[in-house]
Structure 1
Amino acid sequence: MTSIRRRPVQRAAGLVTAALVALAPLATAGPAAAVEPNPDIPLTEPPPVAVLPSTTSSSYFDTPRDITGCPYRTAPPAPVDESEVPLPGRTSPTPPPVPDSPPGGDTLAGCEIVAPDHFEVPRDVTASSWLISDLDTGEIVAAKDPHGRYRPASTIKTLLASVVLDALDRDQIIEVTDADLEGAEGSLVGIGPGGKYTVGRLLSGLLMSSGNDAAVVLAHQLGGIEQTIAAMNAHAAEIGARSTYVATVNGLDGPGMMSTAYDMSLIFRDAMTRPAFAETVATESTGFPGYPAGEGAEPPDPAAASEYTGPTMRGDGVVVNPGFVLGNDNQLLYNYPGALGGKTGFTDDARHTFIGAAERNGRRLAVVLLDGTRVPSPPWQQAAALLDAGFAAAGADPVGFLDSGQQESSDDGTTHLASGPLGAAGQPDAAVVDKSVLGRYAPWLAVGAAGLVVLVGAVLTLRSRN
């Protein structure tokens, strides 16, 4: 029996600011918006320090957090801006109750690193919370502050994707209106009024490019922002992610927004059981439509696309934002052998978040990092180091298990979770996977009309943050 040892959390010191890592080159790739991007600004990185809130110094984003004494067991660190101030007439939600016993096992009760004896913790991992798990068995390989509550940023889009795939046909075509784009801000993939997009294309924009415009369009298709948030929270609770509270559909900071590395591991594992999700996060590049629909707006073939030239005018006088090649912003895909995909995230309050997964010698591992920094290395490299350590610890006893909370309703509670598209258990049983959100939440997911708003300008701004 391999013994489990706990390591005290140590504060990193003497770290220097690392340079931004650009997205893997895609010579024919167009912007994740409707105008040609500044080539000096990577499309997938957070905004330069110069545009951060004036009250927040760059050291905040570069310094690992001291979590001695488990200070974030109930709620995340204090916000650094006003993004979580409730709207007039509303109050911040009460945080979910802390479970009497730690989900996944008593070993996960603390906030220090817990790992098997021969697990080598990478020295340059700076995330306040992280967890490595087996996608197929649910075994937890190692973790740090797995139940500490932090903000997920755009990694929560994995939960939205699951809700969407359970409710909508991937081939359904959506003709986007100004009303559908109500609430789109921050990181934008480049969706515009008059464009026609399948649900599958919108999911590509949501997961590959972290498009907040894709998130709100999909949410309006599910009945509206509030209904979709309710559906996301309900699904999180259903799969056992009971320390998660979703405040926005796109991961932007909002009152009460929180999750844990344990919960995000459950959410990602659940999402990976859906072949369409697994296929999307593993895609390096794809064609994305322009707008308005018609001649010149077709999604190009990434292998034969011409250089993006910006808006053009059709013969009928209509200005068209042409289709473009959409690149995946997850650097793990380009740089880590066996990478299966994942999700990036960043906001001022959440700092850097990341989910990555990879397969090696038939074993699939996933890693979640919350409240991280880019110093001394970007999140994907920190994730890669943790994956290496997890694969090297093959055969060690797990420190805990991901508990979906579904065992009571199934003879084999792990059937649904362990049978992703590349898993050893084969494809999920249709009766297990058919969990339509419209069926479960029909009373408040009936499709309603969204409020109309004028989207200023025909050209979307470059996205500024994840």
Structure 2
Amino acid sequence: MPAPMKQTVRRSLLVTAATSVSLALTAPVSLAAPKPSTSPSASPSATPPANMSSVGGTRLGQAGTQVALAGGAPVVPKDLTARSWIVADAESGEVLAAHNAHWRLPPASTMKMLFADTVLPKFPKTTTHKVAAKDLAGMGSGSSLVGIKENETYTVHDLWLGVFLRSGNDAVHVLSAMNGGVAETVKEMNEHAEELQALDTHAVSPDGYDAPGQVSSAYDLTLFARSGLQKKDFREYCSTVTAKFPGETKKNKKGKKVRGTFEIQNTNRLLSGDYDISQYPGIAGVKNGNTTNAGATFTGVAERGGRVLLVTVMNPAKSDHNEVYKETAKLFDWGFAAAGKVTPVGELVPPKSAERSASPSAAPASGQAGGAEDASGRPVASAVTDEGSRGMWTALGVTGGVVVLLAVGVFLVNRRWPLPDLVRRRR
């Protein structure tokens, strides 16, 4: 790995450590909104509810656009029509701006990020599975498909390419069958969402197909993306533009059975481009979706100048072609221009396991250091250093330094954020 890349990766891990330490010890108040209704509904309300979760900061639970501009910071784009969106630093977890971040809305196929983060680690990519008719049962009418056929054998690698590139509900159902069935998979998805502190989410189907009571939020979808992107295979699949997928076994003119392949392309238009939108510089995934109730949804990750941002956009009111990608691109542009010039309005919280790993004995004694609050109402103990580590050493000093760093050692080993070498391939 080149020296500059090593320095960048090292910096990202340092920032992650500081963020994890700060989050665990400041213990922001996290109020989950009421559980979603399980009664059928045609579409979500046109206005956000009065009471939303405040996980990640009190401002994130408020309706409307939340941003704290400082000197020289650009204003948030005025022509955004999405019901909900969020812009966050993928490495530090700082939320730069948000709009109805905790509004519970139908997620469409962006729910597949939670499915992948839950199931992907369970099966080696070389594992093979012969598809039975029951594996494909229960898919919703009009589901997006990659083209899986009964009695054909696929590798797990094939199936995940089908999930990420073509958003194939057929691939999701086959993987769910391998995982003990749809019901078991949905149960595990909801348990994993709770572990990630994605408390706005209630999964009903593993593929994101519209179902009564199935909801998530821009905040939660961003948590899923951030968690998934720590996994090498997840990063590989979500950044793949085109791939060869196994076709159906047929007999050739000589009567011999042959099985060819066909090309599939990623439906993420910021990654693959389209006639009215270009590939976004620095893009590396993550997942798109579109259903009747959800409208268009999208979570993307991109890198510029060593900074990695996550943007989630849910259900733009404007019906122009590729509107969800156009609004995402505007928010990426704004986020890269505004980074370092805005006060964070919240944070992407760590998983519960990371909070438990922080040592209580490392917390500062009463009356010591701290006392300041950021724009989200959270206590802060950080300062920008000359190496740009966003307060790493100050944060460690305030929170107990080496003791806390050791306490979150397991978290660091298993929770590495998106690596720039993957992202920079998309420039």
Whether TM-score is above 0.5 comes out as yes
Instruction: Report what 2:82 is aligned to.
Output: 127
Instruction: Report what 2:202 is aligned to.
Output: 245
Query: Alignment identity in percent?
Result: 36
- Contact 2:91–2:418 (CA under 8 A) maintained in structure 1: no
Instruction: Report whether the alignment pairs 1:180 with 2:119.
Output: no
Alpha-carbon spacing, 1:253–1:321, altered in 2? closer, same or farther (3 Å): farther
Instruction: Report what 2:335 is aligned to.
Output: 390
Instruction: Report what 1:363 is aligned to.
Output: 307
| Deviation (angstroms), 1:251 | 0.5
- Contact 1:137–1:418 (CA under 8 A) maintained in structure 2: no
User: What is the alpha-carbon root mean square deviation over aligned residues?
Assistant: 2.5
Return 5+ residue gaps in structure 1 as ranges: 1-71, 82-97, 297-311, 425-466
Q: Distance in 1 between matches of 2:96 and 2:228?
A: 20
Instruction: Report what 2:59 is aligned to.
Output: 107
| Deviation (angstroms), 1:168 | 1.3
Q: Distance in 2 between matches of 1:175 and 1:349?
A: 33
Q: Distance in 1 between matches of 2:94 and 2:105?
A: 22
Q: Distance in 2 between matches of 1:265 and 1:201?
A: 25
Instruction: Report what 1:346 is aligned to.
Output: 290
Q: Distance in 2 between matches of 1:78 and 1:134?
A: 36
Q: Distance in 2 between matches of 1:315 and 1:403?
A: 60
1:12-40 alpha-carbon deviations (Å, 9 max, x no partner): xxxxxxxxxxxxxxxxxxxxxxxxxxxxx
- Which runs of structure 2 are paired with 1:201-240 in the superposition (5 Å)? 201-240=158-197
Aligned amino acid, residue 419 of structure 1: R
Instruction: Report what 1:326 is aligned to.
Output: 264
- Which runs of structure 2 are paired with 1:27-66 in the superposition (5 Å)? none
User: What TM-score, normalized to structure 2?
Assistant: 0.69
Instruction: Report whether the alignment pairs 1:420 with 2:417.
Output: yes
Instruction: Report what 2:386 is aligned to.
Output: none
Aligned amino acid, residue 300 of structure 2: G
Q: Distance in 1 between matches of 2:335 and 2:327?
A: 12
Instruction: Report whether the alignment pairs 1:79 with 2:41.
Output: yes
1:296-346 alpha-carbon deviations (Å, 9 max, x no partner): 7xxxxxxxxxxxxxxx7464376x774201101111113101001111111
Instruction: Report whether the alignment pairs 1:316 with 2:312.
Output: no
Aligned amino acid, residue 138 of structure 2: G
Aligned amino acid, residue 326 of structure 1: I
1:217-262 alpha-carbon deviations (Å, 9 max, x no partner): 0000000010000011011111111110001011001121001111
Q: Secondary structure at the match of 2:98?
A: strand
Q: Distance in 2 between matches of 1:391 and 1:161?
A: 28
Q: Detail structure 1 runs of 4+ shifted over 6 Å in the superposition.
A: none
Aligned amino acid, residue 356 of structure 1: G
| Deviation (angstroms), 1:416 | 6.3
User: What TM-score, normalized to structure 1?
Assistant: 0.64
Q: Distance in 2 between matches of 1:230 and 1:75?
A: 16
| Deviation (angstroms), 1:286 | 0.7
Q: Distance in 1 between matches of 2:79 and 2:40?
A: 25
Q: 2:95 aligns with which of 140, 159, 162?
A: 140
| Deviation (angstroms), 1:131 | 0.6
- Which runs of structure 2 are paired with 1:403-442 in the superposition (5 Å)? 403-404=349-350, 405=352, 406-410=354-358, 411-412=407-408, 415=412, 419-422=416-419
- Contact 2:163–2:172 (CA under 8 A) maintained in structure 1: yes
1:137-184 alpha-carbon deviations (Å, 9 max, x no partner): 111111000111101110000111112222111211111121221123
- Contact 2:303–2:420 (CA under 8 A) maintained in structure 1: no
| Deviation (angstroms), 1:423 | 5.5
Instruction: Report what 1:162 is aligned to.
Output: 117
Q: Distance in 1 between matches of 2:292 and 2:189?
A: 23
- Contact 2:200–2:215 (CA under 8 A) maintained in structure 1: yes
Aligned amino acid, residue 273 of structure 1: Q
- Contact 1:352–1:374 (CA under 8 A) maintained in structure 2: no
Aligned length in residues: 317
Return 5+ residue gaps in structure 2 as ranges: 1-32, 44-50, 273-278, 359-406, 422-427
Alpha-carbon spacing, 1:208–1:143, altered in 2? closer, same or farther (3 Å): same
Q: 2:345 aligns with which of 399, 409, 419?
A: 399
Aligned amino acid, residue 348 of structure 2: L
Q: Distance in 1 between matches of 2:107 and 2:253?
A: 42
Q: 1:152 aligns with which of 99, 107, 117?
A: 107
